[in-house]
Amino acid sequence: MEPIVRENARVSTADGDLDALIHYRPSPLPQPGLVLVDGSGEGTADGWGGAVDRLVSCGTVVLTHDKPGCGASPGDWRTQSLSARADESLAAAALLRSHPAVAGMKCGLYGVSQGGWVALIAAALDARVQFVISNSGPGVSPAFQDRFRILNDLRQDGQNDISLAEAGRWLDDRANRLLSGQAPEEVLTQSPRHSRVPWRRTRPVHRRPRSGQRQSEAAGTGFHPHGPRLHSQKHVCRSRRQQHLTGAQRMPILWILMPSRERQVFVPTTLGIESSTRRGLPPETV
């Protein structure tokens, strides 16, 4: 068996050229292309462990790339919206389609965690994305997931039902303001009116700050009233560009990966959306 070739490449994006790697085994025939789309947090082209080699061994040409500001690549992934990430993935897919090892074969996206949202958005924007794999990806919208996360944090902090209801109304109001196009700075001015209520004292921190990073930056979309990270709410709320998405519009199957010895479960995406709606989830957030 031929050894895996790893070619250096560059993905041109609005943040600048990102370092990338194209991984494949030499073959007399072209092979389908697969762009790996990272989840939240930092990510580099060489940071996928053994996953890349396993995918290449299945007969694919795999492209991985740095996120902005990671490795030696320019930019800052912490300031990106999901739309910006989708554009980045489409640029990577265009580069991969042009590679001789792919040569007209199908090319798709493999999104992990937050990358599942990114991959679905990208596929809805460009029909040349011919398939999507969502690994531990979204079952609901970013807005619904973050609302659930924050309220669950408050519940574990001992807040009562009245406080949870008030916090939920505040989160919904903030999300609606952002979705309507109001600037994050304007939304921040509404935060002090809740500064003395009990649930505002909870400020979840979900990742350890890197060296030199302020704690409020690491808190993401928590409750810090004047933190510099409200732009992360772009991850929580769909932008106007994304509002036409309802689940995985062009993806007919939700693949639920089970432990290796169990039967794999395939669920039609529309049934997943209908089931969530029946459980009382607002359809516009699914």
Distances (CA, A) of 263 to 112, 135, 175, 257: 21, 17, 39, 9
Indicate if the pLDDT at residue 267 is higher than 70: no
98: amino acid identity, one letter: S
pLDDT band for 195, please (50, 70, 90 cuts): low
User: E-strand spans in 66-212?
Assistant: 107-112, 132-135
3-state SS, residue 268: strand
User: E-strand spans in the chain?
Assistant: 5-13, 16-24, 33-37, 61-65, 107-112, 132-135, 253-256, 265-268
Say if residue 132 is in the same domain as residue 28.
yes
Residue 228 belongs to a domain:
yes
Tokens of 112: 């992990």
Q: Which residue has the higher pLDDT, 222 or 3?
A: 3
Say if residue 12 is in the same domain as residue 135.
yes
Say if residue 95 is in the same domain as residue 151.
no
The pLDDT, as a whole number, for residue 198 is: 67
Say if residue 52 is in the same domain as residue 113.
yes
Tokens of 253: 């199957």
pLDDT band for 257, please (50, 70, 90 cuts): very low
Say if residue 182 is in the same domain as residue 134.
no
Say if residue 67 is in the same domain as residue 157.
no
Provide the residue range defining the domain that includes 101: 5-139+244-251
Planar angle of CA 143, 203, 218, nearest 5 degrees: 80
The pLDDT, as a whole number, for residue 207 is: 41
Tokens of 163: 């406080």
Report pLDDT digits (tens) over 57-109: 999 999 999 999 999 999 999 999 899 999 999 999 999 999 999 998 999 99
The pLDDT, as a whole number, for residue 54 is: 94
Say if residue 131 is in the same domain as residue 171.
no
3-state SS, residue 39: coil
The pLDDT, as a whole number, for residue 157 is: 86
3-state SS, residue 58: coil
Residue 284 belongs to a domain:
no
Tokens of 230: 């409200």
Say if residue 131 is in the same domain as residue 181.
no
| Residue 266: strand pairing partners | 255
Strand order through the sheet with 16-24 = 5-13, 16-24, 61-65, 33-37, 107-112, 132-135
pLDDT band for 263, please (50, 70, 90 cuts): very low
Q: Which residue has the higher pLDDT, 122 or 243?
A: 122
Q: Name every residue whose Cβ is closer than 8 Å to that of residue 192 and which is 6 or more positions away in sequence.
A: 225
Tokens of 19: 């370092």
pLDDT band for 285, please (50, 70, 90 cuts): very low
Say if residue 46 is in the same domain as residue 91.
yes
Planar angle of CA 261, 52, 26, nearest 5 degrees: 115
Distances (CA, A) of 33 to 18, 128, 249: 19, 12, 21
Say if residue 20 is in the same domain as residue 108.
yes
Say if residue 87 is in the same domain as residue 21.
yes
pLDDT band for 130, please (50, 70, 90 cuts): very high
Residue 266 belongs to a domain:
no
What total of structural domains would you count in the chain? 2
278: amino acid identity, one letter: R
pLDDT band for 283, please (50, 70, 90 cuts): very low
Residue 53 belongs to a domain:
yes
Average pLDDT over residues 204-221: 36
Q: What percent of the chain has pLDDT over 70?
A: 66
The pLDDT, as a whole number, for residue 245 is: 38
